[in-house]
Amino acid sequence: MTFSAGPTGLGTRSTRVQTRAGEQPVRPIPGIYYHQVAEPEPALVAEVDRRVKEWAVHEVDLYPPEWEDEFDAFGTGRSVCLGYPAAAGLEHLDAAAKLLVAENAVDDCYCEDHGGSPHGLGSRLLMAHSALERPYSVAPYEQQWQDRLQSEPPCRAYQSAMEAFDRLTADQIRNREIHDLARLHLGYLAEAAWSIDGAVPTVAEYLMIRQYNSFRPCLTIVDAVGGYVLPADLHDHPQLQRVFALAALATTLVNDLYSYTKELRSPRPHVNLPVAIRHHEGLSVEAAYFKAIEIHNDVMHRFEAEAAAAAAELPGPLTARFLRDVAAWVDGNHWWHATNTKRYTLPDFLPSE
Amino acid sequence: MTFSAGPTGLGTRSTRVQTRAGEQPVRPIPGIYYHQVAEPEPALVAEVDRRVKEWAVHEVDLYPPEWEDEFDAFGTGRSVCLGYPAAAGLEHLDAAAKLLVAENAVDDCYCEDHGGSPHGLGSRLLMAHSALERPYSVAPYEQQWQDRLQSEPPCRAYQSAMEAFDRLTADQIRNREIHDLARLHLGYLAEAAWSIDGAVPTVAEYLMIRQYNSFRPCLTIVDAVGGYVLPADLHDHPQLQRVFALAALATTLVNDLYSYTKELRSPRPHVNLPVAIRHHEGLSVEAAYFKAIEIHNDVMHRFEAEAAAAAAELPGPLTARFLRDVAAWVDGNHWWHATNTKRYTLPDFLPSE
């Protein structure tokens, strides 16, 4: 189910796409390095949205009615269709959508705006994490714990999403995803620690943490969503691990840059790359933001170089395919941000198009 | 390098060993389910101790002179020799010893007694975790982060130990161990959250968390230490994952029971299984402790039953060998606790032998 038109393969991405940009306003950050992608089929997007909403409302009972508009506005269907243009089928997109919705729910409910807080986050997040895999013990405690999980909407979502994902893919990919979600949770907890202390991490520390609190759990499942398996001995190769870390960082910095003004409006101070740079390097707001764009671009170039090196060092159809699909996720993620003009407004000091 | 004498294979453990109990006082908790194990060769223990201390002092500069007695008293060499009786060689035992020392250092320095604290633990632990795998970014920040890690003794230890481990084993085992250490760190952070709030988790929650904050990172590397590789598609099978979770829990409950009085003397209140039971089930101190012994025994019996089921469901030499080696770690861990009569004193209310 590929939506790209034109030549394919590494290096051709920027020439490949015909956007239906007329239907979707697009405002990329001036000077930022990105690739255009094809808009997904609207009917596909709508069907993914329909299915995941039905699941969220009727199977998981994820949110109260007053959050419905927020759920709809996020645009889960478009997000996963953009991210996985080579998805094997609707069920695959649906599983990816469920994971995304569940991840957002855990973040929103436990970490952020809807009653979340950095305080006590460690026990809430481990509770959520345990819904992804099954803890065991003895009666009656094991059932008591399952009952507890079932009483928490984000935990129900995690459990159900992981079950759907597990049905589609191999055990080792399920386990890999759980590891990437553990990384995510560790990243959340590091950020919560700063937040409690009011600390602003150094730029070096920030760039490290944003490989953990990142979109890595989305981009490393491209094989599962694509209907194939990149085996562990390739996935765990240091060269590929390097690629994933850089890709994860690049995608997260995109989020930092596009959501910069949104985060300024947040009730609790948010740390992001421009903020960390400004704090530690004494730059103006604008200069810090521009430097953050440069850093993002450098990370993207490094990611692409390392991906090319990996393809050369580990030649094989699966590696090439996986790397291509990761790059597609990175590009789709950027495009989603750049076209999400309702959700994200760019800083005033940027030159207008 | 096997130290057991007599019949081998599942089910023969209790008849297999000749202890040199005369050289090592042993006081198992009355009524607790365990298996005797053979004492390791003293010369081997001494050599592992010598190597790991040389590494800690001269390569990693792990601790100041005033902690030397504490380091020696822990008995790292005996601990790993007991846990890995089928180790492939000295280098394998040495790698396991380095990991154990590094894990203890992170716990001691960041979580516990030597300046550790639950406050701000999230960022300290992610810093330590990042020493296990390499974060990437761009100059100069990537090098700045490496410099930061090099300035922290527990991080140096984690990095060096993981490098030693990595040299010995396959990429997928290195990645598996990093996942198990991520579980450990999530467990620490959950416990820290209770600690800040003064909360006592329910028994069900406690039993869940103790599969995360557990000895799992020690017991799942038995293949690496044994010089073979249990491939990911077996390791990640749900039946084996169940076995590991139960084994991890059993080993941790052993630690709870033997260190109960030690934890009573700790400056900060410790939650352990007897404490959680007492708090939530209204039992006396003694009754809670006895119930905790029963729960441990039930978990052990379940672990052994699930291991036998796994051996039947996933027949094959690697699975059988791995399960046997995990059981040996569980037994060795218990024996280490039961013979560590200097470190652990049992509660007065237990019947004397």
What is the arithmetic mean of pLDDT over B212-220? 96
Tell me B282's DSSP state: -
Q: How many CB pairs under 8 A join A and B?
A: 220
Q: Are A217 and A99 in contact (CB under 8 A)?
A: yes
Q: Where are the domains of chain B?
A: 41-168, 198-353
Percent of chain B with pLDDT strictly greater than 90: 78
Tokens read off for A256: 């930092």
A interface test, pick of B124, B134, B163, B189 with most A CB neighbours within 10 Å: B189
A182 with B179: Cβ contact below 8 A:
yes
> Pick from B138, B186, B298: which is nearest to A299 by CB?
B138
Q: Check for a shared fold between A41-168 and A198-353.
A: yes
Q: What is the pLDDT of residues B320-345, one digit of tens each?
A: 999 999 999 999 999 999 998 888 88
Helix (H, G, I), strand (E, B) or coil at B222: helix
Instruction: Give contacts of B229 with chain A, Cβ < 8 Å.
Output: none
Task: Chain A: give the shortest CA distance to residue B69, in Å.
Answer: 33
B136 with A249: Cβ contact below 8 A:
yes
B208 with A125: Cβ contact below 8 A:
no
> Pick from A120, A202, A208: which is nearest to B197 by CB?
A120
For every residue of A56-89, DSSP letters joined together read IIIIS--S-GGGHHHHHHH-HHHHHHHH-TT-S-
What is the arithmetic mean of pLDDT over B242-249? 97
C-alpha dihedral sign at B308, B310, B316, B319: negative
A123 with B295: Cβ contact below 8 A:
no
User: Residue A4: which pLDDT band, with cuts at 50, 70 and 90?
Assistant: very low
pLDDT at A117: 64
Q: What is the pLDDT of residues B9-27, one digit of tens each?
A: 444 333 333 345 456 789 9
pLDDT at A11: 40
Give yes or no for residue B3 having a pLDDT over 50: no
- Closest listed residue to residue A210, CA positions, set A261, A156, A246: A246
Range in A112-116, A159-163, A215-219 with the lowest mean pLDDT: A112-116
Predicted TM-score (pTM) above 0.95: no
Tell me B7's DSSP state: -
Task: Chain B: give the shortest CA distance to residue A326, in Å.
Answer: 17
> Pick from B126, B232, B236: which is nearest to A212 by CB?
B126
Tell me B107's DSSP state: I
Instruction: Give contacts of B121 with chain A, Cβ < 8 Å.
Output: 122, 193
Domain B41-168 has CATH 1.10.600.10: yes
Q: What is the pLDDT of residues B152-176, one digit of tens each?
A: 999 999 999 999 999 999 999 999 9
ipTM: 0.92
Q: Does A309 touch chain B (CB under 8 A)?
A: no
Domain A198-353 has CATH 1.10.1240.10: no
Give yes or no for residue A15 having a pLDDT over 80: no
User: Residue A295: which pLDDT band, with cuts at 50, 70 and 90?
Assistant: very high
